[in-house]
């Protein structure tokens, strides 16, 4: 006998889902099966299976979108690389032209030195600005903070989070 005082109040029929009219079509191939004829466990199993199918489809969609996005980004990066190479060649030939132009005024040796000093100054300015930008970079502060909270959240101790 059961020790539950309310056990006598519920029959086996009361433990199943109430009967609905119409047909039900789920992903598990139960088309036309009346949900009232199935147990709660069967319905939960079907919902779980449908949710699993939905998650797999969403993951596949995300993979397809990521692949397409990566292809476009790769193509763009290649084009930007080509543009950078072209800009470098332009700078090189403009430097040679400046070297020859200054060479008519002060000699080729001195003009080459002037062009080299100009490029050294440009490199120094770019390095200083770049170094300052790198030092300002904080990484991923919000993500790091969020990840630090996960162990306490999994233990149900959110109040211990910093």
Give domain limits for the chain. 36-160
139: left (phi over 0), alpha (psi -120 to 50) or beta: left
**Residue 89: its pLDDT value, please?**
96
pLDDT of residue 3: 53
Q: Residues 95-123: what's their mean pLDDT? A: 94
Q: Which residue has the higher pLDDT, 11 or 101?
A: 101
Q: How far is CA 114 from the centre of its chain?
A: 48
Contacts of 50 (CB under 8 A, 6+ apart): 26, 27, 28
| Tokens matching residue 113 | 């030195």
Reported as a single tens digit per residue, the pLDDT across 20-62 is 444 444 444 555 556 568 888 888 898 899 888 888 988 888 8
CB atoms within 10 A of CB 14: 8
Q: What is the pLDDT of residues 120-154, one digit of tens each?
A: 999 999 999 999 998 888 777 777 777 777 777 77
């Amino acid at each position: 006998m059961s020790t539950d005082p309310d056990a006598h109040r519920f029959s086996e029929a009361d433990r199943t889902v109430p009967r609905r009219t119409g047909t039900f079509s789920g992903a598990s191939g139960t088309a036309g099966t009346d949900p009232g004829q199935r147990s709660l466990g069967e319905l939960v199993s079907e919902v779980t299976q449908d949710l699993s199918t939905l998650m797999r489809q969403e993951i596949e969609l995300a993979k397809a979108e990521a692949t397409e996005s990566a292809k476009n980004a790769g193509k763009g990066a290649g084009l930007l690389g080509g543009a950078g190479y072209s800009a470098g060649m332009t700078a090189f030939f403009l430097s040679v032209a400046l070297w020859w132009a200054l060479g008519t005024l002060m000699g080729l040796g001195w003009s080459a030195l002037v062009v080299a000093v100009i490029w050294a100054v440009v490199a120094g300015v770019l390095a200083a600005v770049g170094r300052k930008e790198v030092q300002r970079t904080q990484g991923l502060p919000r993500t790091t903070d969020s990840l630090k909270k996960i162990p306490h959240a999994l233990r149900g101790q959110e109040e211990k989070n910093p």
